[in-house]
Structure 1
Amino acid sequence: MIDPDPLPHLPGCYLFLDASGEVIYVGKALDLKKRVASYFQKRETDPKTAALVCAARGLDFIVTGTEVEALLLENSLIKKHWPKYNVRLKDSSRYASIHITDEEFPRIHLSRRRTAPGSYFGPFVSARERDLVFSVVRKTFGLRTCRRLAKRECLRHAMGACSAPCIGGISAAEYGRRVGRAEAVLKGRTNELISSLKEEMAHLAERREFEQAMELRDEIRALVSLQERQNVERNKRFDEDVLAYAVDGEEVYLMLFKVYKGTLEGKEEFVFPRTESFLEEFIVQHYSENEPPEELIVGEALDGPLVDFLSHVKGRRVRVTVPKQGEKRKLLDLADKNLLIRFFGGERKLAALAEALSLPEPPKVIEVFDVSTLAGSFTVGSMVTFRDGRPDKKRYRRFKIRTVEGVDDFASMGEIVRRRYARLKEEGEEMPDLIVIDGGKGQLFAATREIRNLGLSIPAISIAKREEEIYVPGRIRPLPLRKDDEATLFVREMRDEAHRFAVKYNRLLQKKAIPS
């Protein structure tokens, strides 16, 4: 079975691979780890999903900035790989863009294809957002939507929604200026328009015309969303490679994003020994065997001879860009983010946890305990182990409660902690660097009392279920950590794994107790 543990709790796309490494399914998710894990936790699935799970032998993923970017990337990856288990989308299924035609009096309309001359803006994943943006731009600048210029005015002009170039209601020069302002808005320069709409919304609210004010509020939101230009599918005429790397000791970890015609289509990962000129050596070796892109986006400037080498191999000039801001900087940041998650995700989580708990060094081995009771019976305990920030499933343990009668979470927690560390102490085994207890102050007190009674000194914390607050011994109030803090999220991740393991064991015992 594929292990979803290396995946982060972030938006992005996941790719299932078969035994030969071929992509057989591409999916998108708001939470990569939860989505992929769900494939292997369902008892009953449809035949197609069951076949996919059976055929999958490998897994890859790409983190994106938002769920919208994941949707766009999914579309690109499907069209690139044509995976066996994805619905085969035709070109007509692309997300719609806003098209301003190349005519004397350009018209504005929605288009799923990019074959006609003119300017295209988008694509838009949300049809509601797209329609709102289209409506605002069309009405604000009075652009025509008719396929052919008529000889008389239409109802749209009578309603004040069109400048009526068909009857000479506006000169070609003035209409062109309006088109230019509309294109500026569609390119993301919407501050002026947003300010104007906010003023109008305020006036409507003062006149108690709340319904119209709410409509303007939705239009403002759509324009604000338009400003968040997508990193994944952009309108460019050339190809780009985005190169990010990190050095750890004597190893170099490198991530290469491949961007074709503005569409992020995949990534390549490399690990190699560090040398004095490792970046130059990588670029020369890689692009001697692979055609260089027209633009290489990197985090540091390259020497002139190296740029000349790329241009020589390409056969024309290769642009090397070190972005400080804008879309290219976002692409480089995204490559950096994928690099850190892929190679250093565990280290980052452990460092954040050590800082939050004021530990002298990151806890290499963490053991997490949970007690599960279903329907007032079958109380069981579980312990899961995380090593270097990742689950170590060979060291998972399950406990039947032996000495506690009835439902008593505190006593049950004390029993499983006592049994675990009494055995490790007796056998001279390695002790963990940190203990995590699923529960509040009561469960934590029961666990730490048993640890002290055994003459051990192991740091311990607990996480309460309801408020997701972290407690430490000797402190009445929880630690002042945000719920989205990286340390809190990591503790929750470990707690959820311990709970899952406990519930699975509990259900197994219940199933065995029911006569067939």
Structure 2
Amino acid sequence: MIIDTSHIPDEPGSYLFMDEEGTVIYVGKAKNLRKRVQSYFRKKESDPKTAVLVEAIRSIDFIATASETEALILENTLIKKHQPKYNIDLKDAKSYAFIQLSDDPYPRIGIARKTGAKGTFFGPFVSGRERDHLLAMVKKIFGLRSCRRLPKRACLRYHIGTCPAPCIGAIGQEAYAERVRQATEVLKGRKKNLILELKAEMERLSAACAFESAITIRETITALEHLAGRRMVTPKHASEGDLINYRVTGGEVYLLLFHQRNGTLMEKEEYQFTESPDFLSEFLVQYYSDHEVPGEVILPEKVDDAITDYLTKLRGKGVLITIPKQGGKRELLDLAGKNVDLTWFSGEERVHALRRALHLREMPDIIECFDISHLSGTAAVGSMVRFRGGRPDKKNYRRYSLKTAEGGDDPGSIREVVRRRYSRLIKEEKELPNLIIIDGGKAQLSAAYSELKNLDLEVPVISIAKREEEIYMPTIPYPLPIPADDPASLLIQEIRDEAHRFAVTYNRIRRRKKVIP
């Protein structure tokens, strides 16, 4: 049986395989959902267990997350809920182990299954792999001993430089205690303050010409920054409830409802219906009349107090309606919104939304976007990225070293790269885009539009200004009435951000070449 995987995004997250009855039979996680899921169906020779699993798959669902580590948390939660038959033998029983610092004069670092012994404990952890990674990094960065008893002579770890050998007195108790303090900061998740502290020390040592010591600290900072993005500890006080986010486009509402458990989105439910003046309130009334009402409902906008009273009566006790503006709940709400975009507006669907929003005559299948990057007018460069079918077409990205425009003249720079790009495409009779996006305001847009007219090109062109995400078209003095969170605007923002990233990268390369003799 052929399984369609075209709807699965290139995002981190967790995926669920269902059988013909809709029962979840396997839950997995991935850094790239599409590639991971497709790998199951490309394998010619797989082990018998995987072959049986693939044979039983009839449908696939997914939940996108902010990172691969978030996907680990979600995977663990989904497995505990659904108990999929093909996951039973795959889970590591040590996934909830702790990291322990003993209370010895020279504390050792290691793994503990329980917190009853003496010492300081950190965890529990999302998975054994994440815990082991953090343990190995802390041991390497701070050189804490791991031996259960201090030996009488230095071991191999001392000779390879990963332990300061307190066993032979090569390090004093006070100096070792400072290492333990820094390691404790990292294990408690306070890496940011420690990094700032180490940077100050590095600058002090550099000023004192102690360059070798400064380099050692710099390597420590690099290792800590690598750890900074990893979320490893299972949240202890995360709230539970339902979370709802949606997009409205073309008179239709695209809504996802997530049941939130332990600070993680799970069990998404999809709804699509015609927009009405009070569609959110109507949805809440209809949905919770047939479903269990949670203690908290997180929404992107306020609803009438009568809705809160209604839900309270259904539940029999208080219900909290939350509209977060910042913090963890806001991040979850934004993540739910991202899942809305991935579910309905990824790829071709987002291109259709863009065509409707801009009232284009033809589908903007090929979109090219330009950006200019410079540092106070120096090392000015241009970039052009191409998206095809709503996805990056990286082999057709282009970089430009500006030849005629002066640094800091963004409209002039846009004029130059637009002229160079499309005069070449015309000369070589190559495929032209269906839509051109300019990163900037009305001045940059006017420059691009003027150059296109000089080339006798009638390709639609728009610009997007960073501050308010306002979208402009030539000859129209006011920004288009497209909300910043509309799927069409989100696609434009994504393309603009990619062009900006590409330009900034090239600008840095140019500046480095000027610095290096």
Asked if TM exceeds 0.5, the reply is: yes
Contact (CA 8 Å) 1:133, 1:222: kept in 2 or not? Answer: no
Given candidates 210, 213, 221, the residue that maps to 1:207 is 210
User: 331-340 vs 45-54, which deviates more?
Assistant: 45-54
Which residue does the alignment assign to 1:74?
A: 75
Which residue does the alignment assign to 1:413?
A: none
Q: How far does residue 307 in structure 1 lie from its aligned partner after superposition?
A: 1.7
**Aligned-residue CA RMSD (Å):** 4.9
Deviations 1:413-452 (A, max 9, x none): xxxxxxxxxxxxxxxxxxxxxxxxxxxx89995777xxxx
Q: How far does residue 243 in structure 1 lie from its aligned partner after superposition?
A: 0.8
CA distance 1:318–1:161, change in 2 (3 Å): farther
Q: Output the amino acid matched with 2:298.
A: I
Q: Output the amino acid matched with 1:129.
A: L
Which residue does the alignment assign to 2:483?
A: none
Q: Output the amino acid matched with 2:211.
A: R
Structure 2 Cα separation of the partners of residues 191 and 65 of structure 1: 20
Structure 2 Cα separation of the partners of residues 218 and 129 of structure 1: 14
CA distance 1:243–1:353, change in 2 (3 Å): closer
Deviations 1:179-222 (A, max 9, x none): 9x999876655543322122233445642335732552255325
TM-score if structure 2 supplies the norm length?
0.56
Q: Helix, strand or coil: the match of 2:276?
A: coil
Which residue does the alignment assign to 1:127?
A: 132
Q: Map of 1:237-276 to 2, 5 A cutoff?
A: 238-276=239-277
CA distance 1:352–1:290, change in 2 (3 Å): closer
Q: Map of 1:380-395 to 2, 5 A cutoff?
A: none
Q: How far does residue 17 in structure 1 lie from its aligned partner after superposition?
A: 1.1
Which residue does the alignment assign to 1:30?
A: 31
Structure 2 Cα separation of the partners of residues 310 and 114 of structure 1: 41
Q: How far does residue 21 in structure 1 lie from its aligned partner after superposition?
A: 0.7
2:329 pairs with 1:328: yes
Q: How far does residue 334 in structure 1 lie from its aligned partner after superposition?
A: 0.5
Structure 1: gaps of 5 or more residues: 102-106, 140-144, 147-153, 165-177, 367-386, 391-440, 449-457, 462-471, 490-516
CA distance 1:352–1:110, change in 2 (3 Å): farther
Q: Map of 1:501-512 to 2, 5 A cutoff?
A: none
Q: How far does residue 223 in structure 1 lie from its aligned partner after superposition?
A: 6.0
Between the aligned residues of both structures, percent identity stands at: 40
Deviations 1:451-480 (A, max 9, x none): xxxxxxx9789xxxxxxxxxx9999xxx9x
Q: Helix, strand or coil: the match of 2:229?
A: helix
2:163 pairs with 1:160: no
Structure 2 Cα separation of the partners of residues 15 and 236 of structure 1: 26
Q: How far does residue 251 in structure 1 lie from its aligned partner after superposition?
A: 3.0
Q: Output the amino acid matched with 1:363.
A: M
CA distance 1:131–1:160, change in 2 (3 Å): farther
Q: Helix, strand or coil: the match of 1:302?
A: coil
TM-score if structure 1 supplies the norm length?
0.56
CA distance 1:197–1:115, change in 2 (3 Å): same
Q: How far does residue 108 in structure 1 lie from its aligned partner after superposition?
A: 9.3
Structure 1 Cα separation of the partners of residues 249 and 11 of structure 2: 24
Q: How many residue pairs align between the two structures?
A: 361
Q: How far does residue 335 in structure 1 lie from its aligned partner after superposition?
A: 0.3
Which residue does the alignment assign to 2:220?
A: 216
Q: Map of 1:92-491 to 2, 5 A cutoff?
A: 92-97=93-98, 111=112, 121=123, 123=125, 125=130, 127-132=132-137, 158-160=172-174, 188=189, 190-203=191-204, 206-209=209-212, 212-218=216-222, 220-221=224-225, 224-225=228-229, 233-236=234-237, 238-346=239-347, 349-350=350-351, 360-361=360-361, 363=363, 486=495
Structure 1 Cα separation of the partners of residues 342 and 336 of structure 2: 10
CA distance 1:188–1:60, change in 2 (3 Å): same
CA distance 1:91–1:37, change in 2 (3 Å): closer
Structure 1 Cα separation of the partners of residues 327 and 187 of structure 2: 16
Which residue does the alignment assign to 1:57?
A: 58
Contact (CA 8 Å) 1:14, 1:32: kept in 2 or not? Answer: yes
Contact (CA 8 Å) 2:351, 2:365: kept in 1 or not? Answer: no
Q: Helix, strand or coil: the match of 2:89?
A: coil
Deviations 1:362-415 (A, max 9, x none): 51788xxxxxxxxxxxxxxxxxxxx9879xxxxxxxxxxxxxxxxxxxxxxxxx
Q: How far does residue 113 in structure 1 lie from its aligned partner after superposition?
A: 6.1
Q: How far does residue 10 in structure 1 lie from its aligned partner after superposition?
A: 1.3
CA distance 1:289–1:98, change in 2 (3 Å): farther
Structure 2 Cα separation of the partners of residues 61 and 188 of structure 1: 29
Q: How far does residue 296 in structure 1 lie from its aligned partner after superposition?
A: 1.7
Structure 1 Cα separation of the partners of residues 314 and 234 of structure 2: 27
Q: How far does residue 326 in structure 1 lie from its aligned partner after superposition?
A: 1.4
Q: Output the amino acid matched with 1:31.
A: N
Structure 2 Cα separation of the partners of residues 292 and 116 of structure 1: 41
Structure 2 Cα separation of the partners of residues 31 and 444 of structure 1: 39
Which residue does the alignment assign to 1:408?
A: none
Contact (CA 8 Å) 1:12, 1:70: kept in 2 or not? Answer: yes
Contact (CA 8 Å) 2:96, 2:123: kept in 1 or not? Answer: no
Q: How far does residue 69 in structure 1 lie from its aligned partner after superposition?
A: 1.4
Q: How far does residue 359 in structure 1 lie from its aligned partner after superposition?
A: 10
CA distance 1:260–1:337, change in 2 (3 Å): same
Q: How far does residue 487 in structure 1 lie from its aligned partner after superposition?
A: 9.0
Structure 1 Cα separation of the partners of residues 288 and 347 of structure 2: 32
Q: Helix, strand or coil: the match of 2:84?
A: coil
Q: How far does residue 80 in structure 1 lie from its aligned partner after superposition?
A: 2.0
Contact (CA 8 Å) 1:351, 1:362: kept in 2 or not? Answer: no
2:51 pairs with 1:47: no
Q: How far does residue 74 in structure 1 lie from its aligned partner after superposition?
A: 1.8
CA distance 1:4–1:215, change in 2 (3 Å): same
Contact (CA 8 Å) 1:233, 1:263: kept in 2 or not? Answer: no
Structure 2 Cα separation of the partners of residues 259 and 293 of structure 1: 10
Structure 1 Cα separation of the partners of residues 19 and 94 of structure 2: 26
Q: How far does residue 235 in structure 1 lie from its aligned partner after superposition?
A: 2.0
User: 237-246 vs 12-21, which deviates more?
Assistant: 237-246
